[in-house]
Amino acid sequence: MKIIHTIQELRELLHIWRAERNTIGFVPTMGFLHDGHGALMKAARQDNDRVVLSVFVNPTQFGEHEDLEAYPRDLKGDAKLASSCGVDVIFAPTPEEMYQNPKAFVDIVDLSNTLCGVTRPIHFKGVCTVVTKLFNIVQPTRAYFGEKDAQQLAIIRKMVKDLNVPITIVGVPIVREADGLARSSRNTYLSAEERQAATILYKSIQVGKEQIKIGMPASELISSMKSVIQGEPLARIDYVSVVDAETMQIVEFIDRPVLVAMAVYIGKTRLIDNFSYTIGR
């Protein structure tokens, strides 16, 4: 497995692979890989002739007071896991390689004004911009994204559709710890006590999954999920919301496919989780 740091060198390799008519699977990440990323890489390995993984902590998707500097980085550890999942090449550019005083950006309206977009107003513009850049650099056949970042996945699907980007987007289910906590690079910020408290997100999801089946309107569902979370003293709710699975707009009646999503601070660490629901499925 190769590790490449420049766009030029990656393009030269990809040029050869394309000339050989290989399909290319692409897994964009910010590194500090865990089993959730493992599932993305394995899915890419299964579906494609070649697999490209990017590891880039993208500065444009972090707000001013967010954790850009503190975000965990470990390219050596990432290379080990990537190689065991069958990745052919890691693209790990520097911020200078990716951005030189940029003036052009990609943004999306409406889908980014709910859920995480409320607390993180510039986040999805940064994500859309870097993902577009990475798509243009790699030009993959398929690209893989985790369902844990469900709003990001919906936004990328819509961006690709609206801009006629010729790439198939594949969503991969959430990978959880034995106690239900969704795998996330940010779990590493949690103290032992906070790690225990963080299981409250999944507990509220379990309650939500039971209650949504009996036809509760969204507002009641949200209240009962919130009251589970409020029982944990270390937890502070950012949002618990029910949105249309495609448009990401708030719904009251669960009469279409929905996403039930939450962001909760455990101490200073902001964690997200969600589940999808369609009546009769």
CB 156 → ligand PAF: shortest distance, Å? 8
Spatial separation of the C-alpha atoms in residues 101 and 199, rounded to whole Å: 42
Residue at 113: amino acid letter: N
CB closer to ligand PAF, 48 vs 152: 152
Q: Which is nearer to ligand PAF, 58 or 114 (CB)?
A: 58
Sort 99 into a burial class: Cβ within 10 Å, 0-12 / 13-18 / 19+.
middle
Q: In what order do the strands lie in the sheet with 269-277?
A: 235-244, 258-266, 269-277
Minimum gap (Å) between residue 134 Cβ and ligand PAF? 8
| 68 vs 251: CA distance, rounded Å | 33
Distance CA 31, CA 71 (A): 9
Which of 5, 15, 34, 37 is flagged as catalytic? Answer: 37
Distance of CA 270 to the CA centre of its chain: 14
What is the closest distance, in whole angstroms, from the C-beta atom of residue 275 to ligand PAF in the complex? 18
Q: In this complex, which beta carbon is closest to ligand PAF, that of residue 27 or of residue 200?
A: 27
Does the active-site annotation cover 37? yes
- DSSP conformation letters of 35-50: HHHHHHHHHHHHH-SE
Query: Closest approach of Cβ 128 to ligand PAF, in Å?
Result: 9
State the alpha helices, DSSP H only, in 99-199: 116-119, 123-138, 150-162, 192-197
Residue 105 CB, nearest distance to ligand PAF (Å)?
14
Rounded CA-CA distance 88/49 in Å is 10
Nearer to ligand PAF, 147 or 149 (CB): 149
Where does this chain bind ligand PAF (CB under 6 A)? 28-30, 58, 61, 127, 130-131, 149, 152
Residues in the chain: 281
Least CB distance from residue 127 to ligand PAF, whole Å?
5
**Is there a contact between 238 and 269 (Cβ–Cβ < 8 Å)?**
no
Quickly tell me which residue has 């448009």 as its tokens. Answer: 247
Q: How far apart are the first and last CA of the chain?
A: 41
* Helix%, strand%, coil% for the chain, nearest 5: 40, 20, 40
Active-site annotation, residues: 37
